[in-house]
Amino acid sequence: MCGACRKRSASQSAAGNRVTKRVGVLALQGDFEAHARLLEKARADAVPVRTRDELDSVDSLVIPGGESTTIAKLATGYDLVEPLRKRGEQGMPILGTCAGMIVCARRIVEGDEPLLSLVDISVHRNAYGRQVDSFESDIDVAGIGEMRAVFIRAPWIEDAGPGVEVLASYDDRPVVVRQGAITLVAFHPELAGDDRLHRLALGL
């Protein structure tokens, strides 16, 4: 049996036949530990991902907030860019929050070259302001309902292609979108301690 298969078999719940899903958290930069805690709350097996082998061992992935430029440099240094893109193109569920949205976007307005180019959106980095301009708001997310959204140096979506579904908006701009198995979020759901968006995006 392959190593990844053994790891998945080891996730079998002793309480029954339920298999705990292994969810990777890209652990290069940003508050990946907060996402890991939220995934454990959702009864997933949270796995930090820094290598190809660790990426190969997981069923889905969270790309957390942080500095998108730093995440891109580290992903390149760890030789993860093509493996990440390939898994995304193959349909692996991905949840990208804040900088994770930028990492997955196909176009970046007045910024760096796109990294993974997985979702047909154009994003504007730090469009909601600097760190001191951080704010919270209640928004309504399709399939979830009302939830608290924490915006910290958040990007906004300038435009979205026809294959992109808008799940939530703030001030008439999309802040939660989905294309295929990839869900992108402009804010930080992990900081509100609400695991519903993680469960929706990752099938938990």
Which residues are known catalytic residues? 98, 188, 190
Q: Determine contact, residues 45/79, Cβ cutoff 8 Å.
A: no
Q: Determine contact, residues 25/64, Cβ cutoff 8 Å.
A: yes
How far apart, in whole angstroms, are the C-alpha atoms of residue 112 and residue 125?
10
Place of tokens 């979506």: 157
Give the DSSP letter of residue 19: B
How far apart, in whole angstroms, are the C-alpha atoms of residue 71 and residue 126?
15
Structure token digits, residue 29: 């930069």
Give Cα separations from 69 to 75, 114, 177 (angstroms): 10, 10, 22
